[in-house]
Amino acid sequence: MTDSVSVFAGHAGAYHAERRRIVPCFDQFYGTAVEVLGLRGGPMLRILDLGAGTGLLSSAILDRYPDAEVVLLDGAAEMLDQARERLPAGTRTIVGDLGDALPDGPFDAVVSALAIHHVEHPVKRDLFRRVHDALRAGGVFVNAEHVAGPTPWLESVHRSSWRAACIAAGASADEIAAAEGRMATDRTIDLVSQLDWMSRAGLEDCECFFRYLHFAVLAGWRPGQAAAA
């Protein structure tokens, strides 16, 4: 078990309840990720959620696309236990590492929220290539991510502004300290580099659709069009 997986496995029970306090832009952040799924139209029937955790993003997607099949992959079984309690019976969950082969596609969308920044940069780049290959033609990759500031000074500004926003949202000092402890395992990279890596993986129209401090929603599409129904 990697450091980040063990940290989040131990935090599974409290993770869901504190999200709105630790992610002050919660509604726009997750809401934008869901909105981006439908930008090009086409079917949205099979979706892979990477680093799915307690199923927050999958739950929001199913609210918009109730007929979709969502497959959740996460390294922490404890997190997926929480997800199964919130998602429809029979939802498929897989305990697995982001460095492993992805479940068989094709998927209409591959999504992730606050997960990929936990892996090393070479794994990120390889994962983006594997995501491209798992998508159908015209399928979309949406990554609601924690990104690094473009300079050390801006990184410090983002971090201090985030602390203030968390306090305003009702987070306790203990919750903020615990979140910062989990951030010690992060392997963040700046927004521009991630968009470049996505493009190099074969995705097109790669763009940032939302940004607030170190929270960003990035997306790119596999070239082509969905097959006619």
Would you place residue 161 in the very low, low, confident or very high pLDDT band (cuts 50, 70, 90)? very high
Query: In this structure, what are the phi and psi dihedrals at residue 184, rounded to the nearest 5 degrees?
Result: -65, -20
Query: Could you tell me the two tokens for 97?
Result: 């590492």
Domain of 182, in residue numbers: 3-210
What DSSP designation does 102 have? P
> What residues contact residue 194 under an 8 Å CB cut-off, 6+ apart?
124, 143, 145, 147, 218
**Extended beta strands in 156-203, E state:** none
- The model's pTM is 0.90
Q: What is the pLDDT of residues 70-86, one digit of tens each?
A: 999 999 999 999 999 98
Number of domains in the chain: 1
Q: What is the pLDDT of residues 168-223, one digit of tens each?
A: 999 999 999 999 998 888 999 999 999 999 999 999 999 999 999 999 999 999 99
The verdict on residue 222 lying in a domain is no
The verdict on residue 150 lying in a domain is yes
The verdict on residue 229 lying in a domain is no
The verdict on residue 147 lying in a domain is yes
The verdict on residue 135 lying in a domain is yes
The verdict on residue 218 lying in a domain is no
Q: What is the pLDDT of residues 40-52, one digit of tens each?
A: 999 999 999 999 9
Q: What is the pLDDT of residues 82-115, one digit of tens each?
A: 999 989 998 999 999 999 999 998 999 999 999 9
The verdict on residue 160 lying in a domain is yes
Q: The domain spanning residue 143 has which CATH number? A: 3.40.50.150
The verdict on residue 169 lying in a domain is yes
Q: Which of the two residues, 176 and 3, has the higher pLDDT score?
A: 176
Closest CA to 76 of 109, 34, 110, 118: 118
